[in-house]
Structure 1
Amino acid sequence: MKTNNIDLVKQTWSLVAQIEMETVGGLFYNRLFELMPEVKPMFSKTPLPEQSKKLLTMLSYVISKLDKLDEIMDEVAKLAQRHTKYGVKDEHYAAVGTALLWTLEKGLGDQWNDSVRLAWTEVYTTLANAMMEVQQEEAGRLRA
């Protein structure tokens, strides 16, 4: 990932992090369920306000470590393994990315621009690809 993109993601996340977690999470999950209603049952065990806090806490942690990604790749792998147990498939990542970018655009308002969109897209794509790779390896082991 480009250093300037990491910096831009960190800067803009600090603005989004000032918004109430339930508000940001509510925007994200509502958009995700509009885009891919079939994933809604995956979230039925945890109330959305609690799920929102978990999501935003994890995002904050990962974003804080973007410039030291090698330090958190084990945690990203564990997160991917949990997602496998929840039934997450590769095609879900595109919808999550779209919902995330939409949520960020709403949360950042005038601060949202092409540079910010590209930075977030690079970061999300890098992390999503790493998670999908772990899930595919896990699926391969289970088939073997």
Structure 2
Amino acid sequence: MTPEKITLVQDSFKKVAPIAGPAADIFYDKLFELAPQVRPLFPDDMSEQKKKLMQMLAIAVNGLTKLDEILPAVQDLGRRHNGYEVTPEHYGYVGEALLFTLGKGLGDDFTPEVKEAWAETYGVLAGVMIDAQKAAAA
């Protein structure tokens, strides 16, 4: 990831953070619309899960300039997903829901460049999680 893309992701996330609650609602609504089969993997009461999502995003986004420091936490999260019955295919739905949410939350500020930066960021982090998950399962 280039420094410019990192800046685009970090600056755009600052605009989403104030609407974290509604953004989490949009995200999970879209995720369950795209992949209804994943709904049973989550608790009935999603309030804590939504907070965790936004906290993890904040940690990841803020840590992009020092990726080597956050990678162990990202890998650990990937390994923990084995216990949640998450499959590598689920990550695609999550990425799609994330980009949809950012588009809704940022409106006109979700430019093609911002979208590309977020897609690359998610791809890198999801790849790390998937690799860690597969290694732990092996």
| TM-score (ref. length: structure 2) | 0.97
Mapped contact 2:80–2:133 kept (Cα < 8 A): no
Equivalence map 1:35-114=2 (5 Å): 35-44=34-43, 47-114=45-112
- Moved beyond 4 Å, runs of 4+: none
Gaps of 5+ in 2: none
The alpha carbon displacement at 1:49 in A equals 2.0
Number of aligned residue pairs: give it. 138
Mapped contact 1:32–1:99 kept (Cα < 8 A): yes
CA RMSD of aligned residues (A): 0.9
* Residue aligning to 2:10: 10
Task: Give the letter aligned to residue 5 of structure 1.
Answer: K
Percent identity over the alignment is: 44
Query: CA–CA distance in 1 between the matches of 2:49 and 2:132?
Result: 23
| TM-score (ref. length: structure 1) | 0.93
Q: Deviations over 1:107-134 (max 9, x none)?
A: 0001011001100001000000000001
Task: Give the letter aligned to residue 111 of structure 2.
Answer: N
Q: Deviations over 1:51-110 (max 9, x none)?
A: 111100110011111010000111111111111110111100000000000000000001
Partner SS for 2:89 = helix
